[in-house]
Amino acid sequence: MTPENSKTQSRSAELREQVAVLDAELTEDFKAQFSVSPFLSRKIVSFQGNKDKPAYSWYKYKEAFSVPLVEYFLSSYDGQISEKVLDPFAGIGTTLFAASSQGIPADGIELLPIGQEIIHARLLSEREMSSDDLATLEHWITSFPWNECRERVPFSTIRITENAYPQETVETIERYRGALHEENEKIQTILQFALLCILESISYTRKDGQYLRWDARSGKRRPGTKAFDKGEILPFDAAITAKLKEILSDIRNAETPLTLFPVKQTAKDIRLFKGSCLEILPTLETAAYGAVMTSPPYCNRYDYTRTYALELAMLGLTHTEVSDLRQEMLSCTVENREKDLLKICPQWNPFIEAASQQKLLQAIYAYLEHEKASGNLNNSGIPRMVRGYFSEMACVIGECARVLKPNARLFMVNDNVRYAGVSISVDTILSDVARSLGFEVEKILVVPGKKGNSSQQMGTYGRVPLRKCVYVWRKR
């Protein structure tokens, strides 16, 4: 080892040690707030908990949390919340629909068009379907009208979705799109939604976090990867009729209200803002909400715009629009460039400062920058992503404090992460930032059974368990 290398290594160790010391101090500081909650299973905090829930299971949005989780925090945690609830990262609207069915009005903000479309289709299916509309859906299930349709409506692809379906499937999708144009707008929305629900199952791809994985039958292979077999690729007709049947059956069952709050009566209290919460939060009224229930993207390089590329292309987004969307999302990929937060809202200086002055974060930034300069990071965009994530989250937290009523709570599901051998305690860091922005940290509820690291991380640094938590903050 050269003297230069040895100097670099000992500086790395020193910076890592500083992170470890500050991390231990902050953990100690929140000792009284940490508790392991037996109610919070991995199933409850994830989409798994919605698997057999009518309507929630129509579209498999793996990043969603579950209805029982929302119901627990809004109704059982400390009594029933009755005032309007906000979810600034609404996804497919789990908070919105679960709150609404408990008689709580709900507002959501969502940037990704697939989430917006799912919420829209679901609201429509719950509120506006007439018996004629249901009969039309029944006709689609039994008669396959697309097979007789002469008109073919092509759909756009973007570079990363080219050749995603067998040729025969492409032609059938085009005829299906042609046939749906003959229906009224409501039916079109439901038919288009059903199509979005099955895209992955009829394609050569599998959603895989940072990328779409391609089945070997597609003829595509990422260099250096093993041939991948995703199993059965469903024929279009079977997949679409099964999905339409499921949707129709759930709509019909919901028509007989079994609950105290019939869906049709409460659904009108859901409001969706389409766009980035960084842009929309500052426009919301101060002290308007009785709770925030949310789960932001995790700081884990997960790229929603790539994972949902098939759906975004089917919704007509171009390559440039998808790239722009990636930049607008909360920074959690290495491609995210720094956002000009003060341009979005000139009043955010104290929020940005709250993140930049957080001591543990400063030590993490120093370590990551050092590792980048020493060529030890597997991607040089990691420090910028981590910095962007915490600055943007500080702004979201500051805005949530502003829009909440005094004493109202914010519940947040989030994961800790790990880069270059250092665990980043997202839970204690964000809680510390929240504390300086007007929240009291009541609890950091740990989900039992800790999550591992990426295989790359485990190979290099050994397995260090990462916490998954629900933070409970109360506005002072």
Ligand X SMILES: C[S@@+](CC[C@H](N)C(=O)[O-])C[C@H]1O[C@@H](n2cnc3c(N)ncnc32)[C@H](O)[C@@H]1O
Taking CB under 6 A as the binding criterion, the range among 72-80, 177-185, 187-195, 274-282 that sits at the site for ligand X is 274-282
| Angle between helical axes of 359-373 and 426-436 (0-180°, round to 10) | 130
Query: Pick from 23, 107, 110, 183: which binds ligand X (CB under 6 A)?
Result: 110
Question: How many residues in the chain?
Answer: 476
Nearer to ligand X, 214 or 390 (CB): 390
- Cα–Cα distance for residue pair 286/401, rounded to 1 Å: 9
- Cα–Cα distance for residue pair 149/152, rounded to 1 Å: 8
Taking CB under 6 A as the binding criterion, the range among 38-46, 108-116, 137-145, 353-361 that sits at the site for ligand X is 108-116
Nearer to ligand X, 111 or 212 (CB): 111
Based on the shown chain and the rule CB under 6 A, indicate whether residue 388 belongs to the binding site for ligand X. no
Least distance (Å) between residue 183 CB and ligand X: 28
Query: Pick from 40, 86, 106, 109: which binds ligand X (CB under 6 A)?
Result: 109
Least distance (Å) between residue 119 CB and ligand X: 9
Least distance (Å) between residue 67 CB and ligand X: 9
Spacing of C-alpha 321 from chain mean position: 19
Query: Pick from 68, 105, 297, 388: which binds ligand X (CB under 6 A)?
Result: 297
Q: How many residues bind ligand X (CB under 6 A)?
A: 22
The DSSP element (H or E) to which 451 belongs, if any, is none
Query: Could you give the string, one character per residue 429-468, with x where binding to ligand X holds by CB under 6 A and - elsewhere?
Result: ----------------------------------------
Nearer to ligand X, 197 or 422 (CB): 197
Least distance (Å) between residue 130 CB and ligand X: 28
φ and ψ of 91, to 5 deg:
60, -125
Q: Among 341, 307, 309, 335, which Cα is nearest to 322's?
A: 309
- Cα–Cα distance for residue pair 110/115, rounded to 1 Å: 7
Q: Write the CA distances from 24 to 52, 262, 445, integer angstroms.
A: 41, 49, 18
Determine how many CB atoms are found less than 10 A away from the CB of residue 28: 10
- Cα–Cα distance for residue pair 270/475, rounded to 1 Å: 24
Taking CB under 6 A as the binding criterion, the range among 201-209, 272-280, 348-356, 466-474 that sits at the site for ligand X is 272-280
Q: Which residues contact 224 (CB under 8 A, 6 or more apart)?
A: none
b/e 291-321 (16+ beta carbons within 10 angstroms → b): bbbbbbbbbbbebbbbbbbbbbbbbebeeeb
Query: Pick from 58, 59, 65, 473: which binds ligand X (CB under 6 A)?
Result: 65
Site for ligand X in 126-165 (CB under 6 A): none
Nearer to ligand X, 89 or 419 (CB): 89
Nearer to ligand X, 58 or 61 (CB): 61
Question: Quick check: 295 and 302 in contact, CB under 8 A?
Answer: no
Encoded tokens for 139: 């006709």
Based on the shown chain and the rule CB under 6 A, indicate whether residue 248 belongs to the binding site for ligand X. no
Query: Could you give the string, one character per residue 180-219, with x where binding to ligand X holds by CB under 6 A and - elsewhere?
Result: ----------------------------------------
Least distance (Å) between residue 150 CB and ligand X: 37
Based on the shown chain and the rule CB under 6 A, indicate whether residue 329 belongs to the binding site for ligand X. yes
State which residue has the least CB distance to ligand X. 91
- What is the C-alpha end-to-end distance of the chain, expressed in Å? 54
Query: Pick from 45, 74, 309, 330: which binds ligand X (CB under 6 A)?
Result: 330
The single-letter code of the amino acid at 129 is M
Strands 270-274, 289-294: parallel, antiparallel or unpaired by DSSP?
unpaired
The single-letter code of the amino acid at 295 is S
- Cα–Cα distance for residue pair 121/31, rounded to 1 Å: 44
Site for ligand X in 86-105 (CB under 6 A): 89, 91-92, 94
Q: Write the CA distances from 206 to 91, 203, 287, integer angstroms.
A: 20, 8, 43
Nearer to ligand X, 371 or 415 (CB): 415
Query: Pick from 33, 169, 189, 276: which binds ligand X (CB under 6 A)?
Result: 276
Nearer to ligand X, 45 or 164 (CB): 45
Query: Pick from 15, 44, 55, 64: which binds ligand X (CB under 6 A)?
Result: 64
Residue 466 half-sphere exposure, CB side, CA atoms within 13 Å? 25
- DSSP class per residue in 55-121: TTTSS--TT---HHHHHIIIIISSS---S-EEESS-TTTHHHHHHHHTT--EEEEE-SHHHHHHHHH
Query: Pick from 15, 121, 278, 472: which binds ligand X (CB under 6 A)?
Result: 278
Taking CB under 6 A as the binding criterion, the range among 158-166, 210-218, 258-266, 270-278 that sits at the site for ligand X is 270-278
Nearer to ligand X, 105 or 115 (CB): 115
Query: Pick from 295, 307, 358, 425: which binds ligand X (CB under 6 A)?
Result: 295
Q: Write the CA distances from 106 to 10, 225, 250, 299, 325, integer angstroms.
A: 52, 44, 22, 26, 25
Nearer to ligand X, 197 or 420 (CB): 197
Say if residue 459 is exposed, middle or buried (CB neighbours under 10 Å; 0-12, 13-18, 19+): exposed
Based on the shown chain and the rule CB under 6 A, indicate whether residue 108 belongs to the binding site for ligand X. no
Q: Which residues bind ligand X (CB under 6 A)?
A: 61, 63-65, 89, 91-92, 94, 109-112, 115, 276-278, 295-297, 304, 329-330
